[in-house]
Structure 1
């Protein structure tokens, strides 16, 4: 089945406009094959229980997205889907009952579509086999495999139930990291770790070959390596050209934030800026350099936007040092030597760079100047800014929220102190299971919701070290007026 939509548009101008289309990947069998000895190599902190992750956690995410973005495909079906185990295939892209939404778009479905073309199938299989060091006979066997089955094999690494032929790519559930829509352009990223090389390859083939993106083919940007990179010494993060989507935020039509982190290098940010300015994609790019620590990984583990004038963030990384008590010299000098203090510089085409003292200053400037907020910028702090809960809950993605519309955000149910902070700012808080029943019974309209934190089950998903901001690649949002 070729997924196509003559009305499809690519256009993202903010982090908070009404979400209309996005790209996701539901947990596949490869996640159930991750072993403890390889978990960190494959960028997971722990092994997960696949069926719990799917049925008790991620399925809620897909259902919720469908009610907001494509309600005709789920309204009236919820009870039958939940009651009949066989109908859970509604969420599996290789099943005949799959929802096949053109608004909640599954990466595996797009891969199946491009593999229908014999020439593309041969080239993609050859490329996958080259990076995975497969033998030639296996390559020929894969070329002759039907597209639906082949897509599953390429993603999961499993030839069948019992035989694996290469490693899984469990991080594909974090679809944001492999590409970012910036206005009507698509920036394809360069992941830092070898474990994500196959993801990058698949996404290139999808965006350049799938009919859904045909009208935007000339708007696809690829991050190049630095000139003669193969002659440059060292493998340090600063030397390599890397950029991942968790470090890129489209905050207004003319303004992009790029983080330099454990996963995105200064070189990657530099190449991205050159590309974006050369193609007149944006006029302003702010670089936020955070410590290269696994604690943070990307800037969207430190802050994400909730409303035009409101952000959720980790306060210890976001403020200036004016809170230090001058009567305590040991504390004063410790703060002055703080290597964790972020560095922020903003570039405008044709103008001198501008610096910001702290992340809060940058975010306030975005809200008040770029988005013309008439209200003072407010912040919701991870763990309600209480030690040790601020650090504990940031680790389990209290700051990594997806705005499905302005003021309506998805977050994990385990971050209790952060939930308290949302309530103190006047937010309603509701569990996703209760919310879906209200939608189904017409007790609540998704489009009329305001200032709500939707709590998503997270015992297994949180082990993967990413929240719903990571698990979404927005393709279309309404403009923020």
Structure 2
């Protein structure tokens, strides 16, 4: 088998992608805990699953191999010891508290088959699932009203963020928000133990134990030598610096430049890919609101310094000029979300109008609801494949957010 990971651009023909089908974790969303679990609304599970299946089939129709996170994770638990270790780490990181013992929860989870175990961990463990007879202390009967021993993980269908393939390796990310921290543990075990990956040398450019956060929605691979990374609400400058140093000193990596792009740190502009994506060799989507007067932004080009622990950093203010510089282009096009109209751009940005998934140069998958942005993309010669989005969009992420490219052809 060829190397199982290979991504050197945002637009190279997509061959293999990792998805997560929305599951019971969404049924465990309630109004009281939406903010804690990073949701603004509660999707209707049967419909969101239909829409996600439509999205997956749209990719298959283009010859793309679709892998599922939940299936790979269950197949990675290849023996009893790995399964037990995985459960212990999930419980430790889940910060389960007082009303039930660690051992009781561990025994409960280990009673499931691998497939059901993964679904249960992703879906969460409600307090009413544990028999009252297992409780031995008065305070354990006088429980608070919080319904979970182990929180659900409703953001998992956004597979872009916990890990990101860069070249023939990947980052396994430390997520900023506590509600998402456990998500990258699945990819750690998949890369380490799943037969598809375990027999290959897979460099981990930055692992989930690094103390500063980074998320895949901020990581965009412009070409085989250049990565753009958002300095955002979810990704820190320190993590970007460390990733750049690790890439530049590693002989397995071809990358020579990292473009660090600062974006406003707010919910609507969560990651760089919610405001900026690459759709063709010389075309990009953009939400105009990320630019200041005269289009100015804070942009930094990181290159290798005089030694392995030093970076050369230069400042830029124009996104267009910076992109032309690092990509060697004389000209390029920034296509504004919602056509730049104040109302349409804000509305469609909220519904991820700039969050396109390129599956080949000039071919993108988008949400059908963003009709203004989609029409403008078509006017610029982009083939737009629309997918259903009534319920999927409630999670505040678009087609790029919902997909982790594993293999792309080089461009």
TM-score for both structures, normalised by structure 1: 0.75
Indicate the SS of the match to 1:47.
Answer: coil
Q: 4+ residue stretches of structure 1 with deviation over 4 A?
A: 158-165
Q: Find the partner of 1:311 among 260, 273, 284.
A: 284
Between 154-163 and 21-30, the greater mean CA deviation after superposition:
154-163
Shift of 1:217: 4.2
Indicate the SS of the match to 1:137.
Answer: helix
Indicate the SS of the match to 2:184.
Answer: helix
Map 1:162-241 to 2 at 5 A: 165-223=149-207, 241=212
Q: 1:366 to 1:454 in 2, by over 3 A?
A: farther
Map 1:415-426 to 2 at 5 A: 415-426=370-381
| Match in the other structure for 1:466 | 397
Shift of 1:160: 11
Q: Find the partner of 2:57 among 46, 53, 63.
A: 63
Deviation sequence 1:253-288 (CA, Å, 0-9, x none): 111111110001122212222222222422111111
2: CA distance, partners of 1:271 / 1:213: 25
Between 179-188 and 271-280, the greater mean CA deviation after superposition:
271-280
Deviation sequence 1:393-444 (CA, Å, 0-9, x none): 1111011000011111011111122123123324xxxxxxxxxxxxxxxxxx
| Match in the other structure for 2:309 | none
Q: Does 1:155 align with 2:110?
A: no
1:176–1:470: 8 Å Cα contact kept in structure 2?
yes
Shift of 1:322: 3.6
Q: Find the partner of 1:291 among 264, 280, 290.
A: 264
Between 298-307 and 147-156, the greater mean CA deviation after superposition:
147-156
Structure 1: gaps spanning 5 or more residues: 1-5, 71-102, 227-239, 324-340, 427-450
Shift of 1:221: 3.0
Shift of 1:156: 1.1
Q: Find the partner of 2:293 among 318, 321, 324.
A: 321
Q: 1:470 to 1:416 in 2, by over 3 A?
A: same
2: CA distance, partners of 1:264 / 1:145: 35
Structure 2: gaps spanning 5 or more residues: 131-147, 307-311
| Match in the other structure for 2:331 | 376
2:78–2:194: 8 Å Cα contact kept in structure 1?
no
Shift of 1:376: 2.9
2:337–2:373: 8 Å Cα contact kept in structure 1?
yes
Shift of 1:366: 4.2
Between 467-476 and 271-280, the greater mean CA deviation after superposition:
271-280
| Match in the other structure for 1:477 | 408
Indicate the SS of the match to 1:250.
Answer: strand
Indicate the SS of the match to 1:177.
Answer: coil
Shift of 1:129: 1.9
2: CA distance, partners of 1:342 / 1:204: 35
Map 1:71-470 to 2 at 5 A: 103-132=65-94, 133=96, 135-158=102-125, 165-223=149-207, 241-280=212-251, 281=253, 282-318=255-291, 321-322=293-294, 342-350=297-305, 352-367=312-327, 369=328, 376-426=331-381, 451-470=382-401
2:173–2:208: 8 Å Cα contact kept in structure 1?
no
Structure holding more strand per residue: 2
1:153–1:159: 8 Å Cα contact kept in structure 2?
no
How many residues were matched structurally?
382
Shift of 1:158: 4.3
Deviation sequence 1:10-36 (CA, Å, 0-9, x none): 110000000011111011111122111
2: CA distance, partners of 1:38 / 1:411: 29
Shift of 1:138: 2.3
Shift of 1:456: 1.3
